[in-house]
Amino acid sequence: MSEPVPNKPVSIAVLTILYGTSVASLRRSLAAFDNSVRLGREAGLCTEFTYAMGDASERPVLTSADLLELQELCLHIDNATYTHFGENTGTSKGQNRLSRATSSDLILLCNPDVVPDGRALWRMAASMNVATVGLVEAKQLPVEHPKDYALGTGYTSWGSGAFSLVRRDVFQEVGGFDEETFFLYCDDVDLSWRIREAGYDVLIQPAAVVFHDKKLSAIGGWQPTDAERYYSAEAALLIAHKWSRGEIVSDLLDRFEQGDDENLRRARTTFLERREHGRLPEPRDPNHEIGVFQDGNYARHRYTL
Amino acid sequence: MSPRKYDNQVGPYNAYGRCLELLARNVGQSSGIHLDLACGLAPIADSISQIADMHYIGIDFDEASVTEVRGRGFEAHVLDLNSVDCEQDLRALLDGRKLASVSMLDGLEHLVAGRHILQALSSLLAEHKTICIFSVPNVTHADVSIKALLGKWTYTTSGLLDETHYRLFSEESLDQALRESGLVRVDEANVVMVESDQHFPSDHGALSRTTPLGQFLRWLRASIDDHGSTNQFVWAVAPVPVKPVLHETSHEPFLSVIMRTQGRRIQELREVLLCLASQSETDFELLLTAHRVDQSTQVEIERLIEDQPAGLRGRIRLLLLDTGGRAAPLNHALRQARGRYSIILDDDDLVFEHWVATFRHHEQQRLGRIIRTLAVAQRVELGQVLGLNSVRGVASPEMPYSTHFSLSQHLSTNQSPAHTWAFPRTVYRDFAMRFDETMTTTEDWEFLLRAAEVVGVTDVTDVTATYQWWTRDASSRTAHSEDEWRQNHTEVQRRMDSRPLLLPAGETRIVREKLRRLDEVEHLFAHVHSGEGTVGQLQQQVRLKEHELVLVRQQLAQSNHRQAVLRKRVKNLRMRQDSPRRSRDKSPAEQSINTRAVSEVDVSPATPSWRRRVRNLGRMVRS
């Protein structure tokens, strides 16, 4: 089985948002990216590579010395840039900003603690040899995302913002992330669905692997933090509203109200306030041709996690 | 010392016979001088002299012995082998004659400064291109070591603990002494005595092979090396360049990750290498053994290593092995491991970011014990997308393994995937444990049982890894038949049954609890199956309770009826009370009636308690 490569050399900009990120994890991630670029350059696949960091933390997580140290790791990466936003932009607004500050054929949406395998990027880029592919996601390790995809083609409902490659022209065509609506979660689901709405395919290439650590409980269950529970609940309401699933919104509002999870109650209150002040997005996809809402997920899942 | 106490004859199984055996095997029909150092009464002189063109010369410090040997017609000389000039003395004695072979039987341990004669021999043997046969008592014989463990150390006039021995030797220390003087073992024919001269008192409970303690200690001794029954090391040694004393200067990592691959799962190997490249703790080395791979597969593996970031690449050592079964690559890697701890990681499993860090954190707290973490198991299949193979989860991760290690539980089934437990190097360095290469499966379980028994297990209840359970694609689980798995399983249990078992503190409580529960189940089982009588008794009890319930229900019905009557009366009285004539207008007699009526209601049967009784009886009948 020969190694797939993009039809022509490409330029890539990695857009990653820092928020209290440790320098150690950045160092590890950047070293892995630099290794990817080494392999890409050796195979003549890469014209230019930029690693753009946007810092949404209250105080900068990097000192000048840290930045210098990170840049020194970049033996093959052309540019490693760092911007402290001075506000908590979340991922949507932050990555929109970084997209405007960079130029490349492809944009890599990426969490700052993700470590890519050396071939992952190029396998994903090769998946874009078909012009209709707008977004390609990698498979995450050590806990794979349970959403289903089609064997053979890799078609899937949405691609994770933790590590997805997007054509820049497609990203711009759909207007990037909906930063007015989504702060942290579901921004990637919404982006994927708008890409599909615009006629492009979203797929996963599971042979492109990246490491994105997770913690499982002693019985193998997921352990979300309070912040994850709050923001994912808020995003769940917003995306159901935006993609014309009023019945799901009502159901979630009821459940959040009846439950005893303070995070969910708070998410409910925020949503109702937005609705009251007319700050909700215009619903789309009235015939439910794009958005997938199944068992509380945004794709059919192969298993629960 | 009296030479008479060493007046032993040549026998086929003693040191003299073994010496002649080695000479015949390694020197043959050579001609020249045979130099017999520390010859004593020269028991081998006659045998040596029978070899054509061989001239025997005996050397000893004891003049009486030398005189006696000379008296038998052999050339013999008095020489101090402790002397720094012994090489010069020997050369003078040889006086240019050809040296055919040398022996030094049970002499080295008597020397204060043995290195002088060893260095002299290295030089002479190199010059004459021949060998020397050494015989040296083994102080690590099981009889000596077991007694020493229990506080007994008894010198004797001859034998293993001869009171005139100056230096005591184990296999390792003899090897080292020879190597440092420019000599190396090339052949051996050791004297084996299951019961040595130190096997006393004969009824010592730890020396016995029939007591549990004796059996356990002998099993442990035998598992470390083959010399628990070696009475004397009888070695043929040859000259080599002097080996300088090495001081370990290279970095000693915390963890040696041992991985075997046949190169059939390159994508899975890529995934597990990515997990290692992502570790938060990088103080580890990866010993990747390519086992029985062809050239193209080897190249594929090498390319994959080349794909790794420099940080990981620098920690990988690729080993090649073309022989042996499943366990062979594990032992091959173990021999080269430098880590304080080692762990197996299969080429199709996954580990979390804190995998190495977790083991390292707990190493500092419980040095020398096995550290065990947890893994979830997930069913996976191979899939293909856009022409590339990939692993695809098909079920939720589960926790099928015990969260805490129990040796007794592990005796029946393995609850610890190999990549969840790291073992300290003392297990293979000091206890010489290796993976059993005769086993085609379950070699990790068998190793864990032996290792856990002697060094114990520290539980860490963090999930640090995933065990990928292949549902339909080839894996070690499917590569071997059910029969083969069962046979290996039985073999592991047979081995554990063949000797006493050392249980860690607290394990008896687990065993006791399990036995208690088993007793309960057996009791219940016996009760159910003990025949009609018991069932009949239970049915009779049920009937009695049912009858009692009927009575109680009748009482309750009467009580309810009485309550209803009284309620009606109260109602009537209240109606009368609410009539236009106010109560204060009533006569004292009427007021008295009202009060009594209310009191009668208040003291009616306490219905809640009755209901409670009925409920209880109902429960009893149902149960």
For B370-399, give the secondary structure using H, E and C.
EEEEEEEEEEEEEEEECCEEEEEECCCCEC
Counting Cα atoms < 13 Å in the Cβ hemisphere of B311 gives 24
Mean pLDDT computed over B329-344: 96
Supply the DSSP symbol for B187: E
Q: List CB contacts of A246: < 8 A, sequence separation 6 or more.
A: A240, A283
The reply to whether residue A151 touches residue B386, judged by beta carbons under 8 angstroms, is no
Of residues A146, A214, A218, nearest to B399 (C-beta): A218
Q: Which residue has the tokens 């303690």?
A: B213
> Between the CA of residue A76 and those of A47, A119, A168, A228, what are the distances in Å?
11, 15, 22, 35
Mean pLDDT computed over B554-559: 86
A24 contact residues in B (CB cutoff 8 A): 280
C-alpha torsion A13→A15→A20→A22, nearest 10 = -30
Residue B620's pLDDT is 44
The reply to whether residue B385 touches residue A146, judged by beta carbons under 8 angstroms, is no
Per DSSP, helices labelled H in B96-211 are: 115-128, 142-149, 171-180
How far apart are the C-alpha atoms of B591 and B596, rounded to whole Å?
9
pLDDT tens sequence across B576-613: 776 644 434 434 443 333 333 333 333 334 444 545 55
The reply to whether residue B385 touches residue A304, judged by beta carbons under 8 angstroms, is no
Inform me whether the pLDDT recorded for B151 exceeds 60: yes
Is the ipTM value over 0.90, yes or no? Answer: yes
The reply to whether residue A151 touches residue B383, judged by beta carbons under 8 angstroms, is yes
Best B463, B464, B467, B468 residue to mutate vs chain A (most A CBs within 10 Å): B463
Mean pLDDT of all residues belonging to chain B: 88
From B493-497, B521-525, B574-578, the region with the lowest mean pLDDT: B574-578
Exposed, middle or buried, A261 (CB in 10 Å: 0-12/13-18/19+)?
A: middle
Q: List the one residue out of A203, A43, A155 whose CA is nearest residue B306.
A: A43
> Between the CA of residue B3 and those of A175, B40, B64, B86, B110, what are the distances in Å?
104, 6, 8, 22, 13
Mean pLDDT computed over B504-529: 88
**In this structure, are residues B42 and B71 in contact, taking their beta carbons and an 8 Å threshold?**
no
How far apart are the C-alpha atoms of A72 and A74, rounded to whole Å?
5
Is any Cβ of chain A less than 8 angstroms from the Cβ of B352? Answer: yes
Chain B, window 360-399: residues with a beta carbon less than 8 angstroms from a chain A beta carbon: 374, 376, 383-399
Inform me whether the pLDDT recorded for B225 exceeds 50: yes
How far apart are the C-alpha atoms of B578 and B557, rounded to whole Å?
31
Mean pLDDT computed over B205-220: 93
Instruction: Give me A78's structure tokens.
Output: 């052309």
Question: Radius of gyration over alpha carbons of chain B, in Å?
Answer: 41
Looking at residue A247, its amino acid is E
The reply to whether residue A213 touches residue B374, judged by beta carbons under 8 angstroms, is no
Residue B583's pLDDT is 37
End-to-end CA distance of chain B: 88
Looking at residue B48, its amino acid is I
Is any Cβ of chain A less than 8 angstroms from the Cβ of B357? Answer: no
Question: Radius of gyration over alpha carbons of chain A, in Å?
Answer: 19
Mean pLDDT computed over B283-299: 97
Residue B422's pLDDT is 98
Q: Can you give the three-state secondary structure of B188-250, one letter per residue?
A: ECCEECCCCCCCCCCCCCCCCCCCHHHHHHHHHHHHHCHHHHEEEEEEEEEECCCCCCCCCCC
The reply to whether residue A117 touches residue B274, judged by beta carbons under 8 angstroms, is yes
Q: Which residue has the tokens 């995998």?
A: B355
Residue B246's pLDDT is 64
B461 contact residues in A (CB cutoff 8 A): 218
Mean pLDDT computed over B69-90: 96
Inform me whether the pLDDT recorded for B618 exceeds 50: no
pLDDT tens sequence across B36-48: 999 999 999 999 9
Q: List CB contacts of A234: < 8 A, sequence separation 6 or more.
A: A183, A185, A267, A270, A271
How far apart are the C-alpha atoms of B623 and B619, rounded to whole Å?
6
Q: Which residue has the tokens 């609705």?
A: A275
In a 3-state reduction of DSSP, which class is residue B60? strand
How far apart are the C-alpha atoms of B579 and B595, rounded to whole Å?
17
Is any Cβ of chain A less than 8 angstroms from the Cβ of B316? Answer: no
From first to last of its 305 residues, what are the pLDDT tens digits of chain A?
689 999 999 999 999 999 999 999 999 999 999 999 999 999 999 999 999 999 999 999 999 999 999 999 999 999 999 999 999 999 999 999 999 999 999 999 999 999 999 999 999 999 999 999 999 999 999 999 999 999 999 999 999 999 999 999 999 999 999 999 998 899 999 999 999 999 999 999 999 999 998 877 766 666 778 888 899 999 999 999 999 999 999 999 999 999 889 999 999 999 999 999 999 999 999 999 999 999 999 999 999 98
Inform me whether the pLDDT recorded for B211 exceeds 50: yes
B391 contact residues in A (CB cutoff 8 A): 144, 206
The reply to whether residue A31 touches residue B350, judged by beta carbons under 8 angstroms, is no
Residue B473's pLDDT is 62
Residue B571's pLDDT is 81
pLDDT tens sequence across B343-357: 999 999 999 999 999
Query: In B296-307, which positions are buried (b, 16+ CB within 10 angstroms) versus exposed (e)?
Result: ebeeebeebbeb
Residue B365's pLDDT is 78
Instruction: Give me B545's structure tokens.
Output: 């309770």
The pTM score is 0.82
Of residues A119, A127, A216, nearest to B397 (C-beta): A216
**In this structure, are residues B131 and B236 in contact, taking their beta carbons and an 8 Å threshold?**
yes
The reply to whether residue B394 touches residue A303, judged by beta carbons under 8 angstroms, is yes
The reply to whether residue B403 touches residue A218, judged by beta carbons under 8 angstroms, is yes
